[in-house]
């Protein structure tokens, strides 16, 4: 009788252990399901937040292209595509992000500005660059114009006289993956002779004359664009096409740029 009771007790203990084991498995699986569900929901929310942000700026870029570029004569499809692709809000100070796609120049510090989208598109379109071209830019600023050109040409060489801007632009462009852009802190008046000749030269600051070195470093048949005139008031956006020892000049439109500093002011 005692032996039978012992067997019954063992069975009860085994059944009890089995019940506990099954309950533990259920609890663990339930916790995993809850955790997985939480992670999935959180991941969906985070993706939605990112998606909303991307969509927000994508719509602003689309509006910029449709309303501020196409309606004003920017008709080069490659330029329009690039302007609609590049995230201009990453090239302006954080406090001005909400104004990034307005058609206005914005301050970037040190008395400098990032040009309005229309002017960036107009200058780029006027150069008529090709994918195998090498372009020299004078006045890097925040790096936005260099990024636009980098999407269209083989190599961009850009010079910025203000060291802090040159350093931040170089870091920004590298971070955004523009490996075909080289940044130099120097006086752009003298160009970048060791990488000359260039297929095109773009000057994003005003001067009352064209620096001779820039014309010398321009290939025959190449184009140079510069805001030319008074550095205190308005200038004329001027396109120069090099033809041997001569040049052909076209006046595009009135503009207002900050002055080219350094040797140009002497």
**Is residue 115 among the annotated active site residues?**
yes
Looking at residue 68, the DSSP 8-state letter turns out to be: I
List CB contacts of 174: < 8 A, sequence separation 6 or more.
none
**Neighbour-count burial for 166-197, b at 16+ CB within 10 Å, e otherwise:** bebbbebbeebebebbbbebebbbbbbeeebb
- What is the spatial distance between Cα 142 and Cα 78, in angstroms, rounded to a whole number? 22
**Neighbour-count burial for 206-216, b at 16+ CB within 10 Å, e otherwise:** bbeebbebbee
Catalytic residue among 51, 115, 168, 213: 115
Q: What are the tokens at 147?
A: 């990024």
Residues in the chain, total: 266
Task: Tell me the CA end-to-end span of the chain in Å, nearest whole number.
Answer: 117
Q: Which residues are catalytic?
A: 115
């Amino acid at each position: 009788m005692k032996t039978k009771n012992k067997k019954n007790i063992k069975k009860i203990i085994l059944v009890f252990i089995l019940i506990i084991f099954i309950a533990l498995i259920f609890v663990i699986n339930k916790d995993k399901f809850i955790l997985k569900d939480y992670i999935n929901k959180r991941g969906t929310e985070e993706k939605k937040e990112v998606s909303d942000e991307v969509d927000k700026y994508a719509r602003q870029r689309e509006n910029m292209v449709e309303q501020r570029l196409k309606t004003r004569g920017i008709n080069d499809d490659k330029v329009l595509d690039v302007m609609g692709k590049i995230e201009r809000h990453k090239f302006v100070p954080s406090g001005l992000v909400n104004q990034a796609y307005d058609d206005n120049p914005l301050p970037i510090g040190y008395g400098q500005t990032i040009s309005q989208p229309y002017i960036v598109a107009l200058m780029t379109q006027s150069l008529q660059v090709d994918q195998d071209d090498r372009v020299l830019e004078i006045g890097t600023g925040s790096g936005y114009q260099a990024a636009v050109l980098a999407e269209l040409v083989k190599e961009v060489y850009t010079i910025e006289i203000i060291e802090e801007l040159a350093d931040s632009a170089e870091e920004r462009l590298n971070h955004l993956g523009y490996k075909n852009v080289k940044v130099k802190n120097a006086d752009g008046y003298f160009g970048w002779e060791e990488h000359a000749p260039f297929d095109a030269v773009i000057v994003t600051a005003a001067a009352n004359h064209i620096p001779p070195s820039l014309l010398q470093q321009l290939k025959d048949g190449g184009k140079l664009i510069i805001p030319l005139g008074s550095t205190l008031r308005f200038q004329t956006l001027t396109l120069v096409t090099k033809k041997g020892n001569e040049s052909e000049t076209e006046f595009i439109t009135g503009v207002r740029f900050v002055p080219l500093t350094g040797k140009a002011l002497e």
